[in-house]
Amino acid sequence: MLFKGVDFWPHKKHFDLFAARKLCITVTSILLFIAVASVFTKGLNFGIDFKGGSLLEVQAKSGTLDISDLRSRLSTLNLGDIQIQSLDNPRDALIRVEQQTASGDLSAEQAQQAAANKVRDALGDTIDIRRVEVVGPGVSGELRNAGIVAVCFAIIGILFYVWFRFEWQFGVAAIVALVHDIMLTLGAFSLFGMDFGLNEVAALLTLAGYSINDTVVIFDRVRENLRRYKKMPLAQLVNLSLNETLSRTIVTSLSTFLAVSAIFFFGGEVIHGFAFAMLFGIVVGVWSTIIIATPLLVWLGVKRDWSETGSSVRKQPTAAAKA
């Protein structure tokens, strides 16, 4: 007995993924423009990791939480901007207190601690404090730098790896696609005004890894086909490679999307932003591979004679290439 799966992909159908290239590049340019414009005008809504300040997650001990009462109680504390955000559970809320500045004898760090203590006291006995995060200005600056350095190092590391395993054109094409993905994701965070903190940087790095994974799978096939079809025009060859790997791209993206959706819907408040970045990144990663990385590769051109290179790890017999 053997039950086979459903091969739902129309393998016979050959998509000309380059035909709509102009349109797609236009679309992606517009999206990219909106993203960049939003990041530079509206900016990112940095979480307290990067901006400094305090965050408290609170829960009413019984009944629902009276947000307006909470707001009026906290507004008398004179601590600058205080945001109160209700959560899915009506008992829960998030309180954000902005970065305090140094005043009188207090350094900014101490003012920060004092502010968090005032909020704690103002909450009284009917509200439980479930989570407190207080980040001083010095630490937040360092975390911000570490985040930027991390993303840059990851991009450079990936560039060199792809360069080393393929050719520089592949590396450049992959990195351009990667930067596009990161910019679009940052744009989404900026547009929707979602909190951007350390967890989201981790998501960005994972997204970078995932998106490059997708690109590398297709580049791998391009390289293989370069060995096999020595005379085929590059555009046609790349399109063929895209088509051959398209079913895998769809299945993998769907399965990863399913897994991350579970985190998005059931993972709780703390990793909501993380899951969002990943979901967004999976879609954008596939899109950029098809729309940016591969056309760029055609445009940059690649070395056509791969027969003599010893760089391939795969023991591919030349006989197989002829078949």
Partner 1 sequence: MHFASWKKISILLICLVGLLVALPNFLSKEQLAYWPDFLPKRQLNLGLDLRGGAHLLLQMDEKELRKDWLDSLRGDVRKTLRDAKIGYTGLGATGDAVRVKLVEPAQTDAALTALRRLAQPVGGGMVAGAGNDIEVGTTPDGFLRIAPTEAGLVQRSTHAAAAAIEVVRRRIDALGTTEPTIVRQGTDRILVQVPGFDDTGRLKELIGQTARLSFHEVHPQMSVEEARATRVPAGYVIYPDQDNPNIEYLIQESPVVYGEDLTDAQPGFDSRTNEPIITFRFNQKAARQFGEYSSRNVGRPFAIVLDNGVIDGKRDVKVLSAPVIREPILGGTGQISGSFTVESANNLAIQLRSGALPTTLTVIEERTVGPSLGADSIQSGIVSAIVGTAAVAAFMTFAYGLFGLFAIVAVAINLMLILATMSFLGSTLTLPGIAGLVLTVGMAVDSNVLIYERIREEMRNGKQPISAIDSGFERALGTIVDSNLTTMIAGLVMFWLGSGPVRGFAVTLCLGIIATMFTAFTVTRLMVSLWIASQKTRKIPAPL
Instruction: Find the binding residues for partner 1 in span 19-48 (CB under 8 A).
Output: none
Asked if 254 touches partner 1 (CB under 8 A), the answer is: yes
User: Which residue in 176, 59, 77 sits closest to 122, CA to CA?
Assistant: 77
Strand ranges in 74-157 using DSSP code E only, listed in sequence order: 82-86, 92-97, 127-135
Residue with tokens 């967890």: 199
Question: Residues 232, 236, 252, 296: which binds partner 1 (CB under 8 A)?
Answer: 252
Asked if 173 touches partner 1 (CB under 8 A), the answer is: no
Q: The dihedral of CA 147, 151, 152, 158: what is its sign?
A: positive
Question: Residues 28, 45, 86, 247: which binds partner 1 (CB under 8 A)?
Answer: 247
Shortest approach of partner 1 to residue 58 CB, angstroms?
A: 10
As a whole number of angstroms, the distance between CA 205 and CA 158 comes to 11
Instruction: Print the binding letters for residues 184-203 with partner 1: x by CB under 8 A, - otherwise.
Output: --------------xx-xx-
> In what helix (H) or strand (E) does residue 170 lie, and over which residues does it extend?
helix 168-192
As a whole number of angstroms, the distance between CA 295 and CA 105 comes to 61
Question: Residues 39, 94, 141, 209: which binds partner 1 (CB under 8 A)?
Answer: 209
- Show contacts with partner 1 in window 86-145 (CB under 8 A): 104-107, 109-110, 113-114, 116-117, 120, 128-136, 138-139
As a whole number of angstroms, the distance between CA 101 and CA 112 comes to 8
Nearer to partner 1, 154 or 188 (CB): 154
Nearer to partner 1, 260 or 292 (CB): 260
Shortest approach of partner 1 to residue 214 CB, angstroms?
A: 8
Question: Residues 21, 176, 244, 296: which binds partner 1 (CB under 8 A)?
Answer: 244
Asked if 277 touches partner 1 (CB under 8 A), the answer is: no
Q: How many CB atoms lie within 10 A of CB 43?
A: 11
Shortest approach of partner 1 to residue 218 CB, angstroms?
A: 9
Interface with partner 1: number of residues (CB under 8 A) = 89
Nearer to partner 1, 36 or 202 (CB): 202
- Show contacts with partner 1 in window 285-314 (CB under 8 A): 312-314
Shortest approach of partner 1 to residue 41 CB, angstroms?
A: 29
Nearer to partner 1, 2 or 308 (CB): 2
Instruction: Print the binding letters for residues 210-229 with partner 1: x by CB under 8 A, - otherwise.
Output: x-xxx-xx--xx--x-----
As a whole number of angstroms, the distance between CA 130 and CA 57 comes to 5
User: Which residue in 286, 296, 290 sits closest to 170, CA to CA?
Assistant: 296
Shortest approach of partner 1 to residue 11 CB, angstroms?
A: 6
Question: Residues 10, 80, 90, 157: which binds partner 1 (CB under 8 A)?
Answer: 157
Shortest approach of partner 1 to residue 167 CB, angstroms?
A: 14
Q: Are 177 and 213 in contact (CB under 8 A)?
A: no
282: CB partners within 8 A, 6+ apart: 207, 210, 253, 256, 257, 260
Question: Residues 20, 23, 30, 259: which binds partner 1 (CB under 8 A)?
Answer: 259
Q: Are 50 and 147 in contact (CB under 8 A)?
A: yes
Q: Write out the two tokens for 178.
A: 């990667």
Compute φ and ψ for 127, nearest 5 degrees: -120, 130
